[in-house]
Amino acid sequence: MPADRSPPGTATLTPVVLQILLALAENNRHGYGIKLEIERLTDGAMSLGSGTLYEAIQRLENSGLVGEAPVPRGESGDSRRRRYYKLTVGGRRALQTELSRLEKVLSHARSKKLIPKTR
Amino acid sequence: MMRQRLLRLLFRLYPASFRRRFETELTEFLGDDRRHARYRRTVFGGARFWWRTLIDLFSTAARLRFRGVLQKGRRKQPRRRGGLMDATWQDIRYAIRNMIRRPGFTAVVLVTLALGIGANAAVYTVVQSVIFSPLPYDNPDELVMVWEHNFTRGRPTNVVSPANYFAWRDNATSFEDIAAVTEYSATLTGEGEPQRIGVVSATAGFFSILRLHASIGRVFHIEDDQPNRTTTVLLTHGFWQRQFGGDRSVVGRSITLNGRPAEIIGVLPAGFHFDLAYSFNATGSQDVWVPQQFESNARTFSGRYLQVTGRLKPGVTMAQAQGEMSALAQRLEQELPDRQTGWGVNIVPLHEQVVGNVETPLLILLGSVGFVLLIACANVANLLLSRATSRQQEIAVRSALGAGRGRVMRQLLTESGLLAVIGGGAGALVAFGAVRLLILLKPENLPRLDEVHVSVPVVLYLLGISVVTGLLFGVAPALRLSRMDLRGALIESGRRGGTARGDLRTRNALVIVEIALSLILLTGAGLMIRSFGKLIEIGVGFDTHNVITGQIQLPRSSYGTDALRIRTFEDIVHRVQILPGVESATAITWLPLAGGGTGTSFSVNDRPKPAAGEFPTADIRWVNQDYFHTMRIPLLAGRAFEDQDTGDAPLRVVVNESLAREFWPGGSAIDKTLTMPWNDDMVATIIGVVADVRDKGPAQEPRSMIYWDHRQFQAFDFMSLAVRATGDPLSLVAPIRGELQQVDPDLPLYNVRTMDSYLDSALAEARFGMIVLGLFAVAAIVLASVGIYGVMAFAVSQQTREMGIMIALGAAARTVTAQVVRRSLVLIGIAVAIGIGGTLAVSRFMRGMLFEVSATDPVTVIAVATLLTAVALAACYVPARRAGRVDPIEALRHE
């Protein structure tokens, strides 16, 4: 797991971490919300188990990419017991770095005509 | 709740810091996941959820805990003084590494264990829920059933007459209270389509005996069962949900049962179901409870139909109660010798009443599945032994570096223990799935099925057998290795010497155990198959194919007179008979195999009248005249009912062969007369004798039976149609319903079933036992074959050198092969001998499950022994061939 121990922003992110950051880019979410959002973004191709998700969240929190957010107003009952997560400034930067790196990879691949045309 | 507890237990696998931080969230997450999962409504939905969750949990927990261990050398472990816990951790890490290093081996062991442990846990779950756990009532040990004991017919649990119930209730002092219960079905109208629902009627004290309260409204009060009151009715939870969508305001409303209004006074708690030994309820569900009211003229001694349940006063023992009731029965016999001679009282604990019939079969299943686990253990032990051989050097090095014998043993036992625990975890999943499947299969006659669930004792049992299993298959290899000759192992460096011989002895013993146990299981399965074959062979005495049946009830409110009911039933039968696709049609009060029926005592007029209490008895059925023809019951003498046998003609009956043979053995029963002591003595002439029908299924000996033409005596407002089709009987259902609508649009045809499906149900218990035992036996024989294959292959590989020399010295390949086969045969022979001994010892427990097959049936035992020998020999074939093909040069080169 080399990506996890490197300082943020300097190396590629694991697919799970990338998806979590993406899921938190627009809205703060609780754990299960993140899972659902990732399933939506990936058309169900990535479905995280509880352990995998929180293991990643723990690492992201420890490295300061993700932080705890206040529970949104209007939530009640069960939802109040959950922790919500948000992207920190560092997290947003790491996501941007990773996305622009991917962008470069993609444009390079496109110029070599490596990407099959989709209808 | 169970799930929560289990999860909390599983979360312990995570490191404490992770657990503290995320436990609540993990719980919430999994709760959501389970609710959201789109597959949750399918059979294996739950199992799939658990499977995914556990895989995820195990892998992340392992990652979090062992990040350092798995990445060997990546991070330096701080060196600490080796305490006990440290050593254990070390052992566990080492064991995990070992397992990962040999994925194939690990997978085989884990699958074997998971199946063995899982099957055990599944069967134990059922046994625990059905037999061991107390009934779900307050102080259930005080609850009993009180039966009349029919000494003449040898029936200790006979239904009770109303007069006896009242006599007991008013005189017995052993009980807090007793209540009379009956179960039947009735037509519900006014709530959409008319439908048939299951009704239980009980005297008012019933619910206070069980100490059961209504979840809404109230249960019966003492006034509810007084005669001539408006009927009240209690809804069961399921019916309330189904019919009224759980509407709490139904209390106070009225429903119409059999044309009469009844006021809803309450709803019973969810899950409440009272298993009754006898039921005339063909709907299969208990929908409503009504008070059992007795008009004063209904408190008779004749006509036994009640089932009585009671609660003993605290401190009163079964024996005391039985003593009091027997004395009471004797007093009644003196007062009413005509009615009561030959009748006693029999008290049975309610628990025994409910589970008594299935106790032995279930315990046999538990024993059998235990055998399968033992065989699996023997196999895994064998696998570990072969692993042990290849690990001799590793252990020798460890010992040489200062590991004591105890330390090495502990290390090895940790490995097997870990295998067992993971196998047990996977076994739990197998068990979940298997129990679900079992509930879906819904074996008939298995009481308390709705109570079957995974409970704390089940989890403890699972844990227990996992640990015991680990010890069982781990100890032999561990002892073997730790006792190894260190110097020899190091010097020989992998060459096989004396230890291998000792190994082989252990392995031989394991294989003998495996084959012997398989033989016992296989014999059990063989006996069940033979017994099932006999049941099929003997049949039920009529042709069940292509017959569709359905019940009709004429409400007395609109069909008040006997004549009208007779005319209506005849009209319906005639209309159905001329439908296209109908070969013939008929009707009977109680269909064979469907349960239900009534009997009568009688006397034969050309014999002296028997003393009171010694009257013979017979079952009695009222039929339409085409009954025997339609059901294809052979007419043995005389004639069947014909057009002229109407109500105006003298009484005529047809009897079955059993009755004719009992009273006129070798002679003719035709034209003899019977007297039935009903309100007025009824005298009837026998006009025909028909073959016996096994009314209660093929396993029950037929009893005396008297058939009446229903036109001569119509006491009933219901009959069952039986229609023989020329083709698919189910295609007739719609046309039959159509005809019924023509006669009366308010008449439902309910409980529509083919006669074949009744036969299926009658055979269900035997089939279920046969299939489950058969599966276990197949598992056993496969495991045992793998076992003997492993041992022979091992033996051959150990002796490659000797064989090479033999061949080099001129022995034919055939001789070498023969030697291996001979050795296998000796093993198999010993195992079969032990197995047959074991079979003779334990198969007697099966006696009650067998039909016309002795528990020590020599044919079965010999067939099974032969089969097993053949399979075991086949398993030895490959190693034997390999022995014959040993290349002497190759074999001796290592010298």
Asked if A74 reaches chain B (Cβ–Cβ under 8 Å), the answer is no
| Contact between residue A14 and residue A6 where contact means Cβ atoms under 8 Å apart | no
Closest CA to B630 of B571, B690, B683: B690
CB B413 within 8 A of CB B471: yes
* pLDDT given at position B44: 56
CA distance B485 to B498: 9
- Residues of chain B found within 8 Å of residue A78, distances taken between Cβ atoms: 28
Predicted pLDDT at B572: 95
Across all residues in chain B, what is the average pLDDT?
A: 83
Q: Which residues of A touch B14 (CB under 8 A)?
A: 51
- Res B613: pLDDT: 63
Alpha-carbon distance of B640 to B707, in angstroms, equals: 10
Res B28 pLDDT > 70: yes
The tens digit of pLDDT for each residue in A17-68 reads 999 999 999 889 988 889 989 988 888 888 888 888 998 998 898 888 999 8
* Out of A36, A50, A55, closest to residue B64 by CB: A55
- pLDDT class of B457 with cuts at 50, 70, 90: confident
What residues in B contact A30, CB-CB < 8 Å? 25, 28
Distance, in Å, from the CA atom of A66 to the CA atom of A54, rounded to the nearest integer, reads 12
State how far residue B597 is from chain A, nearest Cα, in angstroms.
57
Size of the A and B interface in Cβ pairs below 8 Å? 56
Q: Give the model's pLDDT for residue B230.
A: 76
Work out the pLDDT band at B628, boundaries 50, 70, 90.
very high
Contact B278, B309 (CB under 8 A): no
Residue B537 CB neighbours (<10 A): 9
Give this prediction's pTM. 0.64
Contacts of B275 (CB under 8 A, 6+ apart): B353, B354, B447, B448
pLDDT at B765: 74
- Please enumerate in sequence order all residues whose Cβ is within 8 A of that of B748, keeping only pairs 6 or more positions apart, or say none: B187, B193, B194, B195, B196
Question: Which ipTM did the prediction report?
Answer: 0.82
Alpha-carbon gap: B4 to the closest alpha carbon of chain A (Å):
15
Name the DSSP class of B549: E
Region B462-486: mean pLDDT is 75
Confidence of residue B693 (pLDDT cuts 50, 70, 90): very high
Q: For residue A32, give the nearest of B24, B29, B56 by CB distance.
A: B29
Chain A hits for B33, Cβ within 8 Å: 32, 35, 50
**How many angstroms away from the CA of B238 is the closest CA of chain A?**
30
pLDDT, residue A7, reads: 45
Range of B21-25, B58-62, B89-93, B468-472 with top mean pLDDT: B21-25
Among B506, B494, B508, B475, residue whose Cα is nearest residue B395: B494
Supply the DSSP string of B452-487, one letter for each residue: ----HHHHHHHHHHHHHHHHHHHHHHHHHHHTS-HH
Confirm or reject contact between A83 and chain B (CB < 8 A): yes
- When CB atoms are compared, the residue of A32, A55, A81 closest to B32 is A32
Of B43-57, B238-252, B517-531, B554-568, the range with the lowest mean pLDDT is B43-57
pLDDT reading at B792 higher than 60 = yes
CA distance B787 to B820: 16
Average pLDDT, integer, range B871-877? 84
Q: What is the pLDDT of residues B383-427, one digit of tens each?
A: 787 777 777 777 777 777 777 777 777 888 888 888 888 888 888
Question: Could you tell me the pLDDT band of residue B78, with boundaries at 50, 70 and 90?
Answer: very low
Average pLDDT value for residue range B114-120: 85
Q: Which two tokens stand for residue B760?
A: 């299926």
Percent of chain B residues topping a pLDDT of 70: 91
Interatomic CA distance for residues B375 and B377, integer angstroms: 5
Interface test with B, best of A54, A81, A85 (most B CBs within 10 A): A54
Using a CB-CB distance cutoff of 8 angstroms, which residues of chain B are in contact with residue A16?
Answer: none
For B733-749, how does the pLDDT look when each residue is reduced to its tens digit (9 = 90+)? Answer: 999 999 998 998 888 88
Chain A contact for B29 (CB, 8 A cutoff): yes
Q: Mean of the pLDDT values across residues B457-473?
A: 79
Instruction: Tell which residue, B834, B804, B835, B803, has the closest CA to residue B820.
Output: B803
Please calculate the CA angle B437-B275-B430 and round it to the nearest 5 degrees: 15
Query: Which of chain A's residues have a Cβ under 8 Å away from the Cβ of B59?
Result: 51-52
What is residue B45's DSSP assignment?
A: H
Contact B26 A54 (CB under 8 A): yes
Higher pLDDT: B44 or B829? It is B829
Contacting residues of A for B36, CB less than 8 Å apart: 36
Distance from the Cα of A8 to chain B's closest Cα (Å) equals 20
Residue A29 contacts B, CB cutoff 8 Å = no
The continuous run of DSSP H or E covering B131 comes out as none
**Tens digits of per-residue pLDDT, B587-615?**
999 899 887 777 788 888 888 877 766 77
Phi, psi (degrees; rounded to nearest 5) at B413: -65, -35
Interchain contact, A31 vs B29, CB within 8 Å: yes
Residues of chain B above pLDDT 90, percent: 22
**How far apart are the CA of B411 and the nearest CA of chain A, in angstroms?**
29
Could you report the per-residue pLDDT of B206-260, keeping only the tens digit for each?
999 999 899 899 998 888 888 777 789 999 998 998 888 888 888 999 998 888 8
d(CA B357, CA B362) in angstroms, rounded, equals 9
Most confident by average pLDDT, A4-13, B753-762, B843-852? B753-762
Q: Would you list the DSSP string of B296-357? A: GGG--SS---BEEEEEEPTT--HHHHHHHHHHHHHHHHHH-HHHHTTEEEEEEEHHHHHHHH
Residue B492 pLDDT greater than 70, yes or no? no
Is it the case that residue B183 has pLDDT exceeding 60? yes
Report residue B437 as tokens.
Answer: 């499947």
Q: Is the pLDDT of residue A13 over 70?
A: yes
Contact call for A32 and B60, based on CB within 8 A? no
From A50's Cα to the closest Cα of chain B, the distance in A is 6
Contact between chains at B22 and A58 (C-beta distance less than 8 A): yes
Q: What is the mean pLDDT of residues B334-348?
A: 85
Residue B579: per-residue pLDDT:
94
**B249's tokens:** 């305001």
- Length reported for chain B: 895
Q: Which residues of A touch B21 (CB under 8 A)?
A: 58
Q: Pick the range with the lowest mean pLDDT from B92-101, B214-223, B454-463.
A: B454-463
Q: What are phi and psi of B136, to 5 degrees?
A: -80, 45
Which pLDDT belongs to residue B495?
47
Q: What is the mean pLDDT of residues B607-627?
A: 83
Residues 6+ apart with CB under 8 A from B657: B636, B689, B690, B691, B692, B702
Q: Please, what is the angle between helix B350-400 and helix B456-482, to 10°?
A: 30
Report the residue of B13, B20, B24, B32 to disrupt the A interface, i.e. the one with the largest count of A CBs within 10 Å.
B32
Q: Is A49 on the interface with B (CB under 8 A)?
A: yes
Question: How do B635-638 and B582-588 pair as beta strands?
Answer: unpaired
Q: Is B57 on the interface with A (CB under 8 A)?
A: yes
Please say whether the beta carbons of B43 and B437 come within 8 A: yes
Give residue A11's pLDDT.
Answer: 56
**SS3 of B443, please?**
coil
**Confidence class of residue B352 from pLDDT cuts 50, 70 and 90?**
confident
User: H/E element holding B491?
Assistant: helix B486-492
| B157-173 tens-digit pLDDT | 888 988 889 989 898 88
Strand bridging mode B260-267 / B231-235: parallel
B202: β partners: B181, B291
Q: Cβ of A54 under 8 Å from any chain B Cβ?
A: yes
pLDDT for res B720: 93
